Amino acid sequence: MAHVNVFDTTLRDGEQSAGVNLNRLEKIEIAKQLERLGVDIMEAGFPASSQEDFEAVKEIANTVRNCSVTALARTFKSDIDTAWEALKGGAEPRLHIFLATSPIHMTHKLKKTPDEVVTTAVEMVAYAKEKFPYVQWSAEDATRSDYDFLAHIIEKVIDAGADVINLPDTVGYATPEEYAELFKYVKQNVRNIDQVTLSAHCHDDLGMAVSNSLAAIEAGVGQIEGTINGIGERAGNASLEEIAVALEIRKDKYTYQTGMVLNEIKRTSDLVSKLTGMQVPGNKAVVGRNAFAHESGIHQDGVLKEATTYEIITPKMVGIDSNNLVLGKHSGRHAFMQKAESFGFQLSEAKLKEAFHTFKDLTGKKKEVTDADLFAILTDKQTEN
């Protein structure tokens, strides 16, 4: 199996989620957990954005030893110098510098001509390379850029010394087929493309960030970018845990794997959720509260006989102790009996039947029947004459 690098940007793009503000200590705690999770590169922040972010990036770079720490910079010498001061003590200092290449961004945001954009990108990548051993350049809004122009600027930026070329789907606009086509186009039309690693960075505005990332992997990128729990600007970034688990579960289809330690996923997800204050939706793939919960009688019966009937991922694989048979209005006798047994009740067949009916009545009155409710029902039956 070939390896695809994981570039985690939870602490930079993830922190750009509306309402999220991590302090230095929180960032360091997450960084240490990301190191345990086994990401290859972590983007620790944007040092020129504030003194606090500078300090956090510096401390992370000086602490983390098992992966490369990077940080974001605009195409300004002052941003690059500030990033160098923050990152120079790192195990493998790496700069992430970006400039937009789409007509919309160049005209309205940068107010620069395409030629000026090429000149700036080339000058700043060359300047960054005087200090940093590794430089990643991102063509912001790549998916809405003119492909010929993109090929031209990429060629120049590689000549200037870039090591990684990232083509972000900044506004989550691309479909999987289009995103794969973009990478194929660049591979075929950029003379010196073999000198660099290609990277995919997807946003989830149309709910396609993970699919787009997987399509990019199939198209041959060597690096994928994303965040834990998929947090990030607007609808968020590609969710790294979903990509890693999809590659593992569908290794019949994909020939790439990440180096992520899959059973650290749940712990990482919980920590990010706690410190960012962003709750993970219950039905979120891989880490949601319901991702391994079964409510209907048919499913519970199947899972009790053989888990793989309705579970393609084992909870343990991602660091969750066990699945969860939730007793609700669709649940059947089989799961109810199993729950009673797990609580240690040994009731006669007749009493269990009555208890089951009481439970079913309750599901018509309450949205969620808790373990405490079940315990009370079973205790009543046990003490009844």
Measured CA angle at 29 (ends 24, 35), to 5 deg: 125
What secondary structure does DSSP assign to 164-214, as a single string? EEEEEETTS---HHHHHHHHHHHHHH-TTGGGSEEEEEEB-TTS-HHHHHH
State which residue, 13 or 53, has the beta carbon closest to Zn ion. Answer: 13
Distance CA 340, CA 355 (A): 10
For Zn ion, which stretch binds (CB under 5 A), given 5-13, 101-109, 186-194, 295-303? 5-13
Q: Rule CB under 6 A: say whether 7 interacts with ligand KIV.
A: no
Please report, in angstroms and rounded to a whole number, the separation of the first and last CA atoms in the chain.
64
Give min distance, CB of 13 to Zn ion, in A: 4
Q: Rule CB under 6 A: say whether 223 interacts with ligand KIV.
A: no
Q: Of the candidates 5, 7, 12, 13, which one interacts with Zn ion according to CB under 5 A? A: 13
Binding partner at 40 among ligand KIV, Zn ion, none, C-beta below 5 to 8 Å by kind: none
For Zn ion, which stretch binds (CB under 5 A), given 12-20, 82-90, 294-302, 345-353? 12-20
Distance CA 89, CA 87 (A): 6
State which residue, 15 or 264, has the beta carbon closest to Zn ion. Answer: 15
Q: Of the candidates 4, 6, 8, 13, which one interacts with ligand KIV according to CB under 6 A? A: 13
- Contact between 276 and 41 (Cβ < 8 Å): no
Counting Cβ atoms within 10 Å, is residue 302 exposed (0-12), middle (13-18) or buried (19+)? middle
Q: Rule CB under 5 A: say whether 43 interacts with Zn ion.
A: no
Q: Which residue has the tokens 């995919």?
A: 200
**String of contacts with ligand KIV for each residue 120-149, x by CB under 6 A:** ------------------x-x---------
- Contact between 134 and 165 (Cβ < 8 Å): no
Residues in a beta bridge with 225: 7, 201
**Parallel/antiparallel/unpaired status of strands 134-140 and 197-202:** unpaired
State which residue, 90 or 168, has the beta carbon closest to ligand KIV. Answer: 168
Q: Of the candidates 54, 84, 98, 254, which one interacts with ligand KIV according to CB under 6 A? A: 98
194 annotated as a binding-site residue: no
Sequence-distant (≥ 6) Cβ neighbours of residue 380 within 8 angstroms: 355, 358
Give min distance, CB of 109 to Zn ion, in A: 15
- Residues 311-350, interacting with ligand KIV (CB under 6 A): none
Our measurement of the distance from residue 276's CA atom to the centroid of its chain's CA atoms, rounded to an integer in Å, reads: 14
Distance CA 131, CA 140 (A): 23
In the 8-state DSSP scheme, what is residue 287? Answer: T
State which residue, 27 or 203, has the beta carbon closest to ligand KIV. Answer: 203
Q: Of the candidates 47, 93, 161, 168, which one interacts with ligand KIV according to CB under 6 A? A: 168
Binding partner at 94 among ligand KIV, Zn ion, none, C-beta below 5 to 8 Å by kind: none
Binding partner at 140 among ligand KIV, Zn ion, none, C-beta below 5 to 8 Å by kind: ligand KIV
Q: Which residues bind ligand KIV (CB under 6 A)?
A: 13, 98, 138, 140, 168, 170, 201, 203
Q: Which residues are annotated as a binding site?
A: 13, 201, 203, 237
